[in-house]
Amino acid sequence: MEALFNLVPLVVFLPVLGLLINMLFGGRMSEKAIGTVASAASGLTFVVSVLLGVALWAGHGHAEVVPFAEWIKIGTLDIPWNFRVDTLSVTMMLVVSVVGTLIHIYAIGYMHEDVRFKKDEKRFQRFFVFMNLFIAMMMILVSGDSYLMLFVGWEGVGLCSFLLIGFWYDMDTLGRPSWANSNAAKKAFIVNRIGDFGFLLAGLTMFWWFGSVQFGEVFNKTPFIPESIILAITLFMLIGVAGKSSQIPLYVWLPDAMAGPTPVSALIHAATMVTAGVYLIARSWPLYSAVPNAQFIVALVGAVTALFAATIAVGQYDIKKVLAYSTISQLGFMVAAVGMGAFVAGMFHLVTHAFFKALLFLSAGSVILGLERGHHHLAHHGPDSGQHEEVFDPGDMRNMGGLRKRMPVTFWLYMIGTLALAGIFPFAGFWSKDEILLEAARNYTVVYVLLVIAAFFTAFYMGRQIWMVFFGRSRHAAAEHAEESPKIITVPLMVLAGLSVLGGVLNLPGVHTLTHWLEHTIALAAEHGAEVGGFLALSWGGLNPVVALVSTLLALGAIYLSWLLYGRKPLEAGQKDPLKKILGPIFTGMENKWFVDEGYRAAFVDRYADLGRFLAEVVDGRFWHDFVHDKLIAGTYNWLSKIALDRYADQKGIDAFFNGLGELIKRISASLRRLQNGFVRSYALAVLFGVIAILGYLLLK
Amino acid sequence: MDFLTNPLNLVTFSPLVGVLLLLVLPSGRKNLLRWTALLVSLLTFGLSIWMLTQFQAAEAVAPGELHLGLSLPWIQVAGWNITYAMGVDGLSILLVLLTTFLTPLSILSTWTAVEERVKDFMLFFLLLEVGMLGVFLAQDLFLFYIFWEFTLVPMYFLIGIWGGPRRIYAAIKFFLYTMAGSILMLLAILYIGIQAGTFSVPELITALPGLYASGVIALGAQMLLFLAFTAAFAIKVPMWPLHSWLPDAHVEAPTAGSVILAGVLLKMGTYGFIRFNIPMFPDAAVKAAPWIALLAVIGIIYGAWVCYAQKDVKKLVAYSSVSHLGFVMLGLFALNAQGMEGAILQMINHGLSTGALFLLVGMIYEQTHTREIAVYGGLWKITPIFGSIMLVVSLSSMGLPGLNGFVGEFTILLGAFGSQAIGSPWFAGVAAAGVIMAAIYILYMFQKMFLGPEGSIVEEIKKHGHALRDLNWREIVIMVPLLVFIFWIGLYPKPFFDLMAPAVEKLVEALPQIVH
Amino acid sequence: MDLGIPLTHYLLVSAILFTMGALGVLIRRNALIVFMSIELMLNAANLAFVAFARSFEQTTGQPVFTGQLFVFFVIAVAAAEVAVGLALIVAIFRTKQTIDVDQLSSMKG
Amino acid sequence: MDFTLILFYVVAGVAAATAVGLLFSRNAVYAALFLVLNFACVAVFYLLLGAPFIAMAQITVYAGAIMVLFLFVIMLLGAEKLPRGGILPWQRPLAIGAAAILLAEAGYLLVQRVQSAAVLPDPGSFENSVSSLQQMAYLLFTDYLLPFEVTSILLLVAMVGAIVLTRQAKGAQR
Amino acid sequence: MMQFDPNDLNSILPLVVLLGWACVLLLVDLFIPKGRKGWTAILAAFGLAISMGLTLGRAGQIGSGFRGMVVQDGFSTFLAVLILGSGLLGIALAYDYMRRMGWERGEFYPILMFSVSGMVLMAQAADLIVVFLALELLSIPLYVLAAFGSPRPDSEEAGLKYFLLGAFATGFVVYGITLVYGATGATALREIVDATFAMGTPSPLLLIGAALIMVGFGFKVAAVPFHMWTPDVYQGAPTAVTAFMAVGAKAAGFAALLRVFVLAFPLLQADLVPVIWALAALTMLVGNVIAIAQTNIKRMLAYSSIAHAGYILMAFVAFGDSAVRADAVASALFYLLVYAITSFGAWAVVIALEKKDGRGLEITDYAGLGRKRPALAAAMTVFMLSLTGMPPTLGLIGKFYLFRAVIDAGQIWLAVIGVLTSLISAYYYLRVVVTMYMREGEPETTREPWLDLTWSLAALATVVLSFLPAALFAWASGAILRLF
C-alpha cells in the first residue's frame, strides 16, 4: 500500500502526457481521438487519486511526502519539488479529477459544436491541450509540499485560466470580431497577479521568519514566531485568496471570465481553480488558527462577498453571469467558513459546490448550445423570420423561456443543480451550507447574518433563473427551435447530478466522514464540534434544527418570491424585469454590478494608463530623453561648440542662436563678435590676454 | 604555447578565425559569408562547451576559484605591472556560455534580414563576440578595460550602419553614454593600479583589504572608486535614470544587434558589479546597497510602467529590459547568496527571454516593416507557431513559474527581502509589485499583437500581394534552443545554480558583516 | 660712478618699448608695421638683456659678454626673420594686392 | 644731476616718443623712420651700457640694413597708407587696455617685487673696446661656436626661403 | 686656444649630417630637372634616414658638447627619432601630393630638413640661447613651408599668420630668456638651476621669465589661449606640411618645455602648477569643444591637435616633482609618439581625399568612403578611435600611461577633465566615422604608393602596437632627461 504513494507524480504527469500527445500529434488526430486522449489523461488521474486515497485510508490517514526533484537550492533556501499526499490534498485531487474528467467528456461534445458555431475547427485541439494543462497545474497546486510549489500551480492555473478565457480571443462572446474576450482574459490574469503579489509577499516573509516554505517546517515553527508576523503573512495570503477565489475587492475578473467556453467556466471558474484560495487557507490552518484577528477579517471578507455578489446575481440576464456571481457568492461562503476556522465545513462546501456548480454551468452550456442549434436551424430553415440575422445572444435569459419542453433532460438536471445550490433538503448544498451557517452562528453573528441573507438571495436568483429559462413562453425564435443536447453532453451531467444529490453523504451530521478524514491533516477539525450555549445547544452532531430550519424556510420563501415575480406571470419578449419596477435604482445598481468595474476603471485602470503615458511621454520622453539628453547634454555640446565657433567667426550662426535670447545678450554678443572675429590681430590679442592673465596671477598670487 | 592552447583564449579568439576568413572571402558571395560566420560562431560555441567540461573538472577540485586561467606578464616596464590574465569562475562561466550561445542564433537571424554589406556585418559581429568574451574572461583590469571599450566599436557600427531611420543618433548616443561611464572607470582603474601596484583582479582582491585597513585608501576614496566603477556599469546596465540611451539603441539596432545588446552587452554592466565593484570595494558596496537597491526598485517600477505606454513593440521590449535589469541589480546588492545567485541566473534569463523577444519582433518586422503595436492584432490565428512561441517567451519574461524568469525573480526577491545590506524588506516588497506590472505590459503587448481581431497590417500586407507567413524552419531552429533553455532553467535550474554557487558563496563570505 | 643709472630705469624703458611693440602688433593693420612692432619688441628685450649683463659686470667686477653676444644672435635672427617675413608680405601683396592683415581672414572658425 | 642720467632720460623720452610714433603714424614710411630713430636711441643705451660693439651692430644691421629693407618694400609695394576704419573697432581699446595692464604688471614687477637697488656703472668702466671686441670674437668661435653656426644656417634658410617665396609669386603672375 | 673637440661634433653628429646633407641637397637640387624632383625627395629621405640611423646607433650614448650647450641623452634620442621619423613621413606624404597640387619645388625638401634639424637641435639644447636659435631654425622653414602652397591665398595667408604670430610669440620667449638671465645671470640650464637653488626662493624675475618662455612654447605646441593660429595655419598650409608641423613642431615645443622646465626650473613647480593646470584644462576644453563645430576636416584635426596638446600638458604639470616627473616625462613622450603615428595616418587619409583648390576637405566629402575604399575608411576609423582613446588602438594605451602619470602626480581633477573632454572628443571623431560608413556618397580618392604605405602602416602600427606596447613603454621611460 505504501508503494502507492509513489504514484503521486502521475497526477501531474498524466495530464502532461495527454497534452503533449495532443499538442504534437493532435493536428493529425480526429476530434474524437483528441477528446479521448485528453479525457483519458484526466480519467487516469482520477484513478491515481483514488488509489492514493485508498493508500491513505489503509495507512490511517498518515500523510506522506514523496520527494520528486530538487528545484531551487541556494544557501539556506532549499525548495525541492515534493509531493504531499495527505487527506486534504487527496480530497482536492479527487474533486479536481472527477469533475475534470466529467467536464472533459462533456467538452468533447460541447466543443465539437462550439468550434463549428465559431467557424474555427482547428481550435478543438488547442482546447484540450489547455484543459490538460490546467489539470496538471491544478494538481501541482494541490499536491505540492511547499508554499512555493503551491504558488507554481497557483500561477499556472492562472495562466490556463487566461488561455481558456481568451480561447476565442479574436471575438466577443457572440462571435463578433472584438477585443472583448481577450480583454477579459487579460483582466483575469492581471487581477490574479495582484493576488499573486500578495501571495509572493507572504512567501518572502515566511521564508525569512520561518527559514523555509515547506508546509511541515512552517507549521512546526508557527508557535515560535511573533504573532504580528503571522498576521502579516496571513493577510498577504488573503490578498492572494481574494485574487484567486474572487473575493472582494478582486472578484471583478470572474464575471468577465465567462467569456471562456462553458466547460471552462464550469471547471476552472466554478469547480476547481477558484477554490484554490479556500484550499490555501485550509492548508494554512495552523497559521490562521494562530491569529484570530486574521480569521475574522477573512470571514468577514467572505461573508460580505457572499452577500454582495448575490445581490448582483439577482440583476443579471446572462445565464452564465448569474452563475458567475453565484459562484463568487458561494466562494464567499467557503472563505467565510475557512476564515472562521470551520475548515471542514469550508472544504465540504467546496466539494459539494464543485459538483452542483459544475452541473449548473454545464447545463447552462447545454441550454446555450440548444439555443445555438435553434438559431442555426433558423438560419438555414427559417425564411420567415429576419430575427436570426441580427446579433443573437444565446446566453441571454431574455431570449429564452419555455425550454422545459424543448430540452427536458437539461431542465431536470438544471433543477437538481438549482435545488442543491439553493440549499434545499436533502440536496448536497443543504448539508454543506448548513454546516457553514452553523459555524457562523457559533462564532460571529455578523457573518451569520450576512450569510443568511446571501442564502436568501441565492435561492431567489436561482428561482428567477429557472422561471425565466425554462418556464413561460419562448421569447425568441431560437428558443422555440432549441434542441436537446446529445448524450455525450448529458451523460456527464447526469453523473454530476447524482453527485449533487448525494454529495451530502460525505459529511452527514453525526457521521462526519469528511471531518474524520480531514482530521488527519487538520488537527483542529474535530474541535469545532464543541457545544456552545443558547439555542445552539440544540445542535445534534453538527446539525442545529433552528439554523437548518431558518435557512430552509428562507430558501423556500425566496423561491416562492421568485415565482411570484417571474413564474406566475412569465416575462414577455422585450418586457422589463419586474423587479425593476419594485426596486428602481437599487435594481439598476444590481444590473450594473454596482458600477464596480466602472469605478475601478476610473480609479485604477485609467489612472495606471495615464501615469504610464505620463512617465513614458513626459518623464522619459520629454524629460529624460528630450530634455536631459537632447537638450542638456547634447544641447550643451552644440551650444558650447556654437558659442566657441561664433566667438571666432560664424556671424550667421550666432544671430540664429541668440535670436531667442533677448536684446541685451544679442548686443553683447554682437560686440563680442566684432571684437573676436578671427583676425590675426585678435589672435595676438588672445595671446596677450593669456600673458597678462598668467603674469597677473603670478604677480598677485 | 600556453597562450595558444589555453581554453579561454581559444574560446575568446576563435571568432577571429572567422574574421580572417571573411576578410579574404569575396563580398558578393553573401551566403558563403553567412555560413562562414555561422560555422565559426558555432565553433566558438563548441569550444565553450569544451571549456565548460574542463571548468567542471577543475571546479570539482577547487570549487569557487578561478579556473583555466593564465597570467602572462604583458607590460612589466616603467612601473607598469600589467598581466595578460584570463580566468573563469562561477560568476562568469554562464555569461560566457550565454554569449557563445546567442551569437550563432543572432547570426542565423540575419540570414534574410541583412542583405547589405553582409561581409562587414559579419565581421563586426564576430569582433563583437571577441570583445564580449574578453570582458567576461579578463582578470586584469587593464585587459578588461580594453575589451570593455572595444565592444563599443563593433556595436556602434552595427547600430549605425544596419540600424533603423534614426540609427546614427542612436549609435552615437550609445557610444557616448557608454564611454562617459567607462572613462571615469578608467581613472579609478589607474588609481587602484598606482596604489596597489597591480592590475590583476585576484591580486587586487587580496591586496585591497590591506590597503583599506592601513588607510592607504581611505573609506572616502573607496566610495569614490566604487562610484567611478558604478558609473561605467550603471550606464551599461542601464540603471535608472541612466537608461535614456537604451530605448534609442534598441529601437534602431538591427535585430541581431538588439539581441546581443540586450542579451549580452547589458550583462557586462551587471557582471562588472559582481566581478569588480562588490569584491574590490566591499565596504562601499555595503554602504551603497540601499541606494542602489532604491534605484533598482525605481527602475523596476518605472520601466514596467513606461512599457505599458509604448506604441512601438521594440521600444516596449527595450524598456522591459530596464525593469528586468532592475531586478538583477536588486539581487546583486542584496549581497547574500540568494540575491546574487538569483541575479546571475536572471542575467541569463533576461538574455534568453529578451533575446528571444527581440528575435521574434525582428521576425515579424521583417515581414511587415512596422513595429507599431496598434497595427497588429489577431496574429495568433494567422501565425500559430509564432504566436505560441511568443506566448511562451512572454510568459518567461513576466516570470511565470515553471519558466526561467520566475526562478530568477523569485530568488532575487527572496534575497532582497531579507537582505541585511539593503536593510529593509520594503524594497523587495515594492519590487514584487513589478510582477504585477510585468503582467500588465506583457499581456498588453501580447493581446494587442496576437489576440483580438485581425489588425490593419494584415490587409496592408495583402494589398502588397503577400500574406503573413508563419515561422519558417530557419526561424524555428533559432527559437527552439532558446525555448529549451527557457523551460530547462524554469523546471530544473539546479545545474545552473551549481555552476555559480561556490563562487558566489565565496564572494558573500568575503563581504564585511553588516551590523545594524 | 655712484651717480650711474639704476638698472630699474633701463628695465622700465625696455618694458615700455616692449609694450609699445606688442600694442603695435595689436592695433596696426599694415603688415609691415606689425612686423616693425615685433622688431621693437625684440629690441626691448635686447636692451634689457644688455642692461642685465651690465649689472652682472658690476657685481662680478669683470666684463660679461653674454649680453652682447645674445643681442648679436637676436639681431641675426631678426634679420633672417625679416628676410622671410618681407618675402611673405611681397608674395601676398602680389596675390591679394594688399598688406592689410585684416584682409587676411578667409579662414576662420 | 649727472650728465649720463640726463642723457638717459632724454634718450628714453625720445625712444618712448618714437615708439608711440610707430604706433600711431598713418604712413608706413613715417613709421619706419620712427623705428629707425628708436633703434638709434637703443644704440645710445648700448653705448651707455658699455656695449659699443652691439651699438654699432644695432646701427648697421638694424637701422642700416633691416630698416632700409623695410623702406624698400614699402616703396616697392606702394603700400604706405591703408584706408581708415578697421573691421575691428573693439580691437583697439581692448588692446590698449591690455597693454596698459601689461605695463602696469611690468612696473609692479620691477618696482614692487624686484626692488633692485643696482645702479649701473658708467660707460667707461670695464671698457676696452679693442680687447673686448677681440674677446668677443674669440668667444663666438669657442664657447658660442654652436649658436654662431646655427645662426649662419638660419640666415641661409631665410635666404632660400625668401627666394622660394618670391620666385613663386613671380611664377604665379606669369 | 681654439681647438677642435671631437666630442663636440660627436654630440650633435646626426644633426651635423642632417644640416650638411640639406646644404648639399640645395645644390644638388639645382641639377635635378623640373618634374623629377622626386629624386630630391628621395635624397632628402636618405639624409633623414642616415641621421636617424646615426641617432639610433648612438642611442645608448649620453654626453654633452659645446661647453654644455647641447646634450645627448635618452630624451633627446627619443625625440630625435620621433622628429626624424615625422620628417620622413612628411616627405612620404609630400612626395606625390605636392606634385598633384602643382606645388612641387625642389627646395621643399631641404627646407623641410632644416626645420627638422631645428627640431632635433631643440631636443638637445641645454642653453637658452640654443633653445632660442633652435626655435627659430625650426620655425622659419615652417613659415616658408606653410606658405608653400602659394599662390593659393589660403596657403599664403597661413604662412603670414603663422609668421606674424610666431614672431610675436618669439618676442615673449626672448623677453623671457632675458628675465631669466637677469635673475640668474646665466643662459645655460645647468647654471640656471644652480643659481635658483642658491637663491632658495625663486625670484619674481625668474618666475615671470619662465612664464614668458612658457608662453612662447605654449604657442608652439598650440596651448590655449595661444592656439588661435593653429586651425588657420593647419587649414591653409599644404596638408603634408600640416601633418609634419602638427607632429614635429609639437614635439619640439614639448621637448623645449620639458627640458627647460624640468631641468632648470624645478623650484618653480609650486608657483607654476596652477598656471599649467589651467592651460592644460583650457586647452583640452577649448580644443575639443570647438572641434565639434568643424566641418572642414583639416580644421577639425587642427582643433584635435590643440586638444592633444592639452593632454600632454597634463603630464607637464608634474615637471618639478622629482618623485613622479620621470614617469610624467615618459608618458608625455609616449603620448607624443602615439599622437605622431595616429595623426600622420589621419593626415595621410586627408591627403588621399584632397583635391586641387581645397576641395575634398569637408567632412561631408567623406560620405560613402566605407563602401568605396573599405581599407582607407577602416584606417581612418582606426585613427579616429585612436585619437578618441578607444581600443584596440595605441590611443588608449597612450591615455592610460598619461592619465596614470597625472593621477600619480595627484592631479585627479585634471584627469577627470581630461577624460570628460575625451568624451566630448568622441563626438566629433565619431562623426567622421559616421560620415564614412553611415552616409551615402561618392568620394573621390587618390591612390599613391607612398601615401597608401603611410596610412596603412600607421593604421597597422596603431593597432598592432597597442597589443605590444611594452617595448615602447620601456623606450619612453628610458628617455631620461639629463643635466650635465
Domain ranges within chain E, ordered by starting residue: 8-477
C38–E158 CB contact, under 8 Å: no
Interface of A with C (CB under 8 A): 645, 648-650, 677-681, 684-685, 688
- How many CB pairs below 8 A link A and B? 161
* Test the C interface: residue of A645, A679, A699 with most C CBs within 10 Å: A679
Q: Yes or no: say if B194 and B157 are a contact pair by the CB < 8 Å rule.
A: no
CA distance A82 to A63: 13
Mean pLDDT of chain C: 86
Query: Mapping DSSP to helix (H, G, I), strand (E, B) and coil, where does residue B200 land?
Result: strand
Residues of B in contact with E477 (CB under 8 A): 77-79
CA distance B371 to B374: 9
pLDDT of E1 > 50? The answer is no
Q: What is the pLDDT of residue E231?
A: 87
Residues of B in contact with A189 (CB under 8 A): 439, 443
Q: Is E3 left (phi over 0), alpha (psi -120 to 50) or beta?
A: beta
Confidence class for position D1, pLDDT limits 50, 70, 90:
low
For residues A87-116, average pLDDT: 89
C contact chains, 3+ CB pairs < 8 A? A, D, E
Residues of E in contact with C21 (CB under 8 A): 171
Tell me the per-residue pLDDT of D62-118, one tens digit each, with 9 for 90 and over.
Answer: 888 888 888 888 888 876 677 666 666 777 888 889 999 999 988 888 877 776 777
Q: What is the pLDDT of residue A122?
A: 83
Tell me the per-residue pLDDT of A427-451, one tens digit each, with 9 for 90 and over.
Answer: 888 888 888 888 888 888 889 999 9
If you compute the radius of gyration of chain D from its CA atoms, what whole number of angstroms results? 21
Q: What is the pLDDT of residue E317?
A: 87
For residues E328-339, average pLDDT: 92
CA dihedral of residues E193, E194, E199, E204 (deg, nearest 10):
-30
The candidate with the shortest Cα–Cα distance to A266, out of A347, A364, A171, is A364
Alpha helices in A79-214 (DSSP H): 87-117, 123-143, 147-165, 180-210
Q: What is the pLDDT of residue A653?
A: 34
Q: For residue E26, what is the nearest residue in chain D, using CA coordinates?
A: D160
Q: Does C56 touch chain E (CB under 8 A)?
A: yes
Q: Is residue B511 part of a domain?
A: yes
Q: Yes or no: say if B118 and B34 are a contact pair by the CB < 8 Å rule.
A: yes
For residues A510-525, average pLDDT: 77
pLDDT of A17 > 60? The answer is yes
Nearest to D118 among C46, C55, C71 (CB): C55
Q: Does B453 touch chain A (CB under 8 A)?
A: yes
Q: Does B306 touch chain A (CB under 8 A)?
A: yes
Q: What is the pLDDT of residue D168?
A: 55
Interface of B with E (CB under 8 A): 74-80, 117, 120, 142, 145-147, 149-150, 152-153, 156-157, 160-161, 167-168, 171-172, 175-176, 179-180, 183-184, 186-187, 190-191, 193-194
**Burial of residue B460 (number of CB atoms within 10 Å: 0-12, 13-18, 19+):** middle
Q: Yes or no: say if A237 and A201 are a contact pair by the CB < 8 Å rule.
A: no
- Any idea what the Cα angle at residue E477 is, between residues E471 and E479, rounded to 5°? 105
Q: How far is C79 from chain A (nearest CA, A)?
A: 22
Q: Does E205 touch chain C (CB under 8 A)?
A: no
Residues of A in contact with E224 (CB under 8 A): 690
* Residue B341: partners with Cβ closer than 8 Å, 6 or more residues away: A74, A75, B411, B415, B497, B500, B501, B504
Tell me the per-residue pLDDT of C2-52, one tens digit each, with 9 for 90 and over.
Answer: 457 888 889 999 999 999 999 999 888 888 899 999 999 999 999 999 999
Q: What is the pLDDT of residue E43?
A: 93
Q: How far is C23 from chain A (nearest CA, A)?
A: 9
Q: How far is D163 from chain A (nearest CA, A)?
A: 25
Q: What is the pLDDT of residue D134?
A: 82
Alpha helices in B110-166 (DSSP H): 118-137, 141-162
Longest CA span, chain A: 116
Q: What is the pLDDT of residue A669?
A: 35
Q: For residue A643, what is the nearest residue in chain C, using CA coordinates?
A: C109
Q: Spell out the per-residue pLDDT of chain B, length 516, in tens.
A: 577 788 888 899 999 999 999 999 888 888 999 999 999 999 999 999 999 999 989 888 888 888 888 888 888 887 788 889 999 988 899 999 999 999 999 999 998 888 888 898 999 999 999 999 999 999 999 999 999 999 999 999 999 889 888 888 888 888 888 888 888 899 999 999 888 888 999 889 888 888 888 888 888 899 999 999 999 999 998 888 888 888 888 888 899 999 999 999 999 999 999 999 999 999 899 989 999 999 999 999 988 888 888 888 998 999 899 999 999 999 999 998 889 999 999 999 999 999 999 999 999 888 888 888 888 888 888 888 999 999 999 999 988 888 998 999 999 999 999 888 888 889 999 999 888 889 889 999 999 898 888 888 888 888 888 888 888 899 999 999 999 999 999 988 988 998 898 999 888 888 887 654
Q: Is residue B243 part of a domain?
A: no
Alpha helices in B237-281 (DSSP H): 245-252, 255-260, 266-272, 278-280
Interface of E with B (CB under 8 A): 327, 330, 370-371, 374, 385, 388, 390-392, 396, 399-401, 403-404, 407-408, 412, 415-416, 419-420, 422-423, 426-427, 430-431, 433-434, 437-438, 469-470, 473-474, 476-477
Nearest to E164 among A680, A682, A701 (CB): A680
Q: What is the pLDDT of residue C108?
A: 66
D147–C11 CB contact, under 8 Å: no
What class is the C7-96 domain? mainly alpha
Q: For residue B406, what is the nearest residue in chain A, using CA coordinates?
A: A152
Residues of D in contact with E205 (CB under 8 A): 109, 113-114
Q: Does C106 touch chain A (CB under 8 A)?
A: no
pLDDT of A530 > 50? The answer is no
The percentage of residues in chain E with a pLDDT greater than 90, rounded to a whole number, is: 52
Range of the domain at B497: 282-516
Q: What is the pLDDT of residue A389?
A: 53
Interface of D with A (CB under 8 A): 87-91, 94-95, 98-99, 101-102, 105, 108-109, 113
Q: Does B505 touch chain A (CB under 8 A)?
A: yes
Mean pLDDT of chain E: 89
Q: What is the pLDDT of residue C109?
A: 59
Q: Yes or no: say if B503 and B274 are a contact pair by the CB < 8 Å rule.
A: no
A contact chains, 3+ CB pairs < 8 A? B, C, D, E
pLDDT of A573 > 60? The answer is yes
C-alpha cell at B261: 545588446
Residues of D in contact with C24 (CB under 8 A): 22-23
DSSP string, chain D: --HHHHHHHHHHHHHHHHHHHHHH-SSHHHHHHHHHHHHHHHHHHHHHTT-HHHHHHIIIIIIIIIHHHHHHHHHHHT-S---S--S-TTHHHHHHHHHHHHHHHHHIIIIIII----BPPPTTTT--HHHHHHHHHHHHHTTTHHHHHHHHHHHHHHHHHHHHHHHHHHHHH-
The structural domain count of chain B equals 1
Q: What is the pLDDT of residue C100?
A: 82
What's at A554, amino acid-wise?
L
Establish whether chain B is in contact with chain D, requiring a minimum of 3 CB pairs below 8 angstroms: no
Q: Which helix H or strand E contains E274, and what residues bound it?
A: helix E269-292
D contact chains, 3+ CB pairs < 8 A? A, C, E
Distances (CA, A) of A471 to A400, A581, B492: 9, 21, 57
Q: How far is E229 from chain A (nearest CA, A)?
A: 7
The candidate with the shortest Cα–Cα distance to D8, out of D112, D94, D122, D149, is D122
CA distance A88 to A517: 8
Confidence class for position A675, pLDDT limits 50, 70, 90:
very low
Establish whether chain C is in contact with chain E, requiring a minimum of 3 CB pairs below 8 angstroms: yes
Nearest to E172 among A650, A691, A699 (CB): A691
Distance separating the N- and C-terminal Cα atoms of chain B: 52
D145–E203 CB contact, under 8 Å: no
CA distance A644 to B141: 37
Burial annotation B410-443 (CB, 10 A radius, 16+ → b, else e): bbbbbbbbbbebbeebebbbbbbbbbbbbbbbbb
CA distance E422 to B183: 8
pTM of the predicted structure, to 2 decimals? 0.89
ipTM over 0.85: yes
The candidate with the shortest Cα–Cα distance to B344, out of B497, B185, B222, is B497
Tell me the per-residue pLDDT of A498-516, one tens digit each, with 9 for 90 and over.
Answer: 999 888 888 887 777 888 8
Nearest to B190 among E407, E470, E474 (CB): E407
* Test the C interface: residue of E103, E111, E174 with most C CBs within 10 Å: E174
Residue with cell 660627436: E10
Q: What is the pLDDT of residue D87?
A: 65
Q: Yes or no: say if B174 and B245 are a contact pair by the CB < 8 Å rule.
A: yes
Q: Yes or no: say if E209 and E183 are a contact pair by the CB < 8 Å rule.
A: yes
- Any idea what the Cα angle at residue E178 is, between residues E177 and E182, rounded to 5°? 115
Lowest mean pLDDT among A133-147, A338-352, E65-79, E316-330: E316-330
* Test the B interface: residue of A73, A77, A629 with most B CBs within 10 Å: A77
Q: Is residue B369 part of a domain?
A: yes
Tell me the per-residue pLDDT of E13-25, one tens digit each, with 9 for 90 and over.
Answer: 899 999 999 999 9
Q: Count the residues in chain D.
A: 174
pLDDT of D171 > 50? The answer is no
Q: For residue E404, what is the nearest residue in chain B, using CA coordinates?
A: B190
Tell me the per-residue pLDDT of C50-94, one tens digit each, with 9 for 90 and over.
Answer: 999 888 887 877 778 888 889 999 999 999 999 999 999 988 888
B167-196 and E394-408 helices cross at what angle (nearest 10)?
50
CA distance E445 to B273: 47
Pairwise pLDDT comparison (A601 vs E80), residue with the higher score: E80
Domain residue spans in chain C? 7-96
Q: Does E177 touch chain C (CB under 8 A)?
A: yes
